[in-house]
Each structure stands twice: as structure tokens, then as C-alpha cells.
Structure 1
Amino acid sequence: MNGNNNKSRVVNFRMTPQEYARMESKWKRTTCRKLSDFIRHRVLDKPLVSTHRNRSLDDFMAEMALLRKELNSIGVNFNQAVHKLHMADTPTELKMWLRVFQKDRQILLDQVEKIKLKIYSIADEWLQ
């Protein structure tokens, strides 16, 4: 059985605020995404990759992850609206779903515009 897939043991310990701040500072200078990964590497003498983290890139990626989640939701709604447009039997039903489709389309375009503006902002920062 692979040990990485069977992490069933929990280790708890207490630290002073100063100890935690010191540990957190060391963790943030590595490529470890999670504090538990950092601690596991340190305790098990595994190699750690230290790197200078680009805060603006980290912020950008966090924002893009949120936008991606929103875009996925919008895409699902958009696909449902298109499907219902194809299934509409009456002109009234067709008009209703067309309004929903147009609203979802506008939300999608607004989100794409947000992404474009954020990319321009990051590009301007990098070019300076």
C-alpha cells in the first residue's frame, strides 16, 4: 500500500505564537502549497525547494481560480439555457428561455472582460 494514499494518522502539537510565526515564515519561502506538506517534508528529512514567491502572481492565480469557478457555473447555466431553447414547444416558452439565455450570455461576457482586465493589469506590472 502506498503511504502517500493512506495518510490516516494525525499528529497534533502546540506552539507559541512566535514559534508558529517562525515556522509559517519558513513554509512561505518554499514551494509547498500546504503547511502539512511542509511539516511532513521537514520531519521526514525530505528535500524542500525554497523559492522566492511572486506575491502578485499568487494573488493573480487565486483570483483566476475564483473566476474559473464562476465561469464553470455560468457555462453550466448557459448550456442548460441552450438545451431548453432547443426543447421549447411554444413561442411563450421560447421567449422566456431566450431572455434567460441573453442574461447568462451577458454574465459570461462580463466575466470574460474581468479576466481580460486582470491579465492586462498583471502584464503591465511585469513590464515595469
Structure 2
Amino acid sequence: MKEKRRNKWLHVRLNQQEFDKIQQQFHATTCRKLSDFTRRKLLGQLLVGNYRNASLDQITEELAQLKAELSAAGNNFNQAVKKLHMLSKIKEFEHWLIGYELDRRTLLRSVEKAAGLIAEVAEKW
């Protein structure tokens, strides 16, 4: 069922202290927009509180960075394999092998880091 279009405005003036208090309450909920939070608050609707686990946030941030690193390493690996299929001379193969070994070591370090973070999250849960 579609919600009716909102076309009415309600203007409210606040002093800085009142505004700061509303902002603080807003940030403690799962509402994404201040207007949604304010509407729910005024109409007495349910507001879901937001519980943040700072250590889990840090781990999530590190995992996101690690995902990007793994993606880059995977792309490098795929490019290296494609290049291997196109090589025709032994000298070219030696250069490819050196590059491949460096990429492999980078990938293994990233995988070990991911395993450590996953173990850390598992301990907390």
C-alpha cells in the first residue's frame, strides 16, 4: 500500500540547545533522515534505538578495506594468468613469474589478515 504524498509543511524554530538535543536523539535512532525522525516523534510512532558496538564498527571498517585489497589482488592475479597464456618467450615467462610471486605474497598476507579479523569477530560473538 502506497503512502500518500506529503505536500504540507510544518516550520518550527529552535534555539541551538533545542536543536542539539533533537540532533542527539536523532543520531541515537535508526532513522536515516531528520524529517523522518521528527515526523515519527511528533506523531508518537515507534522509534527504534540504535545500539553501536564501537569495536565491531572498527572491525567492519577493516574488513571493508581488506575486501578492497583482496579484490585488487584478485584482479592482479587474473591479469597475470591471462598474460601467462599470451607469453611465447622464456625471458617473458621469467618476468611474469617474478611478478606473480609478488602478487601471490600480497594475496596471502591479505588472506591471513582476513582470517585474523574473522577469528576476532567470532570470539566477540
TM-score normalised to the size of structure 1? 0.68
The structure whose Rg is larger is: 2
Aligned to 1:73: 72
RMSD of the TM alignment (CA)? Answer: 2.9
The structural deviation recorded for 1:17 is 9.0
How far apart, in 1, do the equivalents of 2:18 and 2:66 lie?
A: 36
How far apart, in 2, do the equivalents of 1:17 and 1:86 lie?
A: 67
Aligned to 2:4: none
Q: Structure 1 unaligned runs (5+)?
A: 1-14
Q: Number of matched residues?
A: 110
Contact 2:26 2:37 in 1 (8 A): no
Aligned to 1:8: none
The structural deviation recorded for 1:30 is 2.5
How far apart, in 1, do the equivalents of 2:47 and 2:111 lie?
A: 37
How far apart, in 2, do the equivalents of 1:87 and 1:17 lie?
A: 68
Question: Where has structure 1 moved over 6 Å in runs of 4 or more?
Answer: none
Which residue identity does 2:73 align to in structure 1?
A: I
How far apart, in 2, do the equivalents of 1:106 and 1:117 lie?
A: 17
- Identical-residue share of aligned pairs (%): 36
Higher relative contact order (CA 8 A, sep 6+): 2
Aligned to 2:37: 42
How far apart, in 2, do the equivalents of 1:68 and 1:40 lie?
A: 34
